[in-house]
Structure 1
Amino acid sequence: MKIEGKVLQINKSDKKGVSKSPINEGNFIEDFGLEGDAHGGKWHRQVSLLGIESINKMKNMGVEGLDYGAFAENITTEGIIVYELPIGTKLKIGETIQEVTQIGKECHSKCNIAKEIGKCVMPNEGIFTKVLKGGKVKAGDKIIILE
């Protein structure tokens, strides 16, 4: 397994259930998540990550207009197949240390992408982390698997 990837984009939204918008730099707060993001809080799904590899899969299935954040991911990644990381894996992302807490999620109501083509990658290929050490993260930062 490749042990290093990179951040392509940071995305946030002020409410749940919508696509996230790109921001230049995210301030990730210990035991909370991304400052100003609707998913932040004291729980196990503080930050969501999805690889460009998964987004490209959807593009190859004919879904058009997919921008970073379309799947409501906080961090769009490249170079690591994030959904293959075991729960408990620690990642150094920018200045932060994050721990993988969940792989995939059940979608409570089908998102627009699932409605459009009948499938979404987030339930199987998106992952969630909690922030162990806060700090700044921006596009281009390395993602390093610590253990």
Structure 2
Amino acid sequence: MNGVRGSLHSICISPERGQLKKEVLEAQVIENKGIENDGHAGDWGRQVTCLNYASVQRVNQEKGMNIGPGQFAENLLIEGIDLVKVGVGGKLKIGADVILQVSQIGKEDHPSVVTRTLGVTLLPYEGLFCRAVNGGLIKKGDLVEVI
């Protein structure tokens, strides 16, 4: 997987956990904390959540929906990389400086705001949960590379 490249489709944040996220054009990632002004930032293993943009497109097509960035409560939508294959311990470099390390894939599924709002969810099954190993500024459209 090393060297596989994709791009950052979107960056989304929300001030508190348990909310749908809103898209922003750029964000500051803080080392060992996560994305500035996002409710998931903190000293734990799920600082930043990533989803494959192809998965969102698939759900939209299968369910006849029009789900946009942040509506699955993800921080980052990434195009062109099969994220689940990155694996726990794998790393993603985003833009010039940011490095995320995968701490877990998927999580417990519970009746979240996403499930209640959309009737479908992705993070519990294929979401990447990451720690921010190196911080910096990320922008929509940045190169994402498996390192």
- Is TM-score (shorter-chain normalized) higher than 0.5? yes
CA–CA separation in structure 2 for the residues paired with 1:116 and 1:14: 20
**Letter matched to residue 141 of structure 1:** D
CA–CA separation in structure 1 for the residues paired with 2:94 and 2:79: 12
Identity %: 35
What is residue 71 of structure 1 aligned with on the other side?
Answer: 72
**Letter matched to residue 92 of structure 1:** K
Contact 1:48 1:128 in 2 (8 A): yes
What is residue 105 of structure 2 aligned with on the other side?
Answer: 103
What is residue 143 of structure 2 aligned with on the other side?
Answer: 142
Q: Return the TM-score normalized by structure 2.
A: 0.91
User: Greater CA deviation, 47-56 or 60-69?
Assistant: 60-69
Contact 1:44 1:129 in 2 (8 A): yes
CA–CA separation in structure 1 for the residues paired with 2:70 and 2:33: 19
In structure 1, the gaps of 5 or more residues are none
**Letter matched to residue 81 of structure 2:** I
CA–CA separation in structure 1 for the residues paired with 2:71 and 2:9: 14
What is residue 87 of structure 1 aligned with on the other side?
Answer: 88
Say if 2:7 is the partner of 1:42. Answer: no
Residues 20-74 of structure 1 deviation map (CA, whole Å, 9 limit, x = unaligned) = 0011101000000000000000000000001111101211222423110111111
Cα-Cα RMSD: 1.7
CA–CA separation in structure 1 for the residues paired with 2:136 and 2:117: 36
Aligned residues: 145
CA–CA separation in structure 1 for the residues paired with 2:16 and 2:29: 17
- 1:51-70 aligned at under 5 Å gives the runs 51-70=52-71
Contact 2:48 2:129 in 1 (8 A): yes
CA–CA separation in structure 1 for the residues paired with 2:123 and 2:135: 25
* 3-state secondary structure, aligned to 2:110: coil
Q: Return the TM-score normalized by structure 1.
A: 0.91
In structure 2, the gaps of 5 or more residues are none
The CA deviation at 1:107 is 2.5
CA–CA separation in structure 1 for the residues paired with 2:70 and 2:28: 17
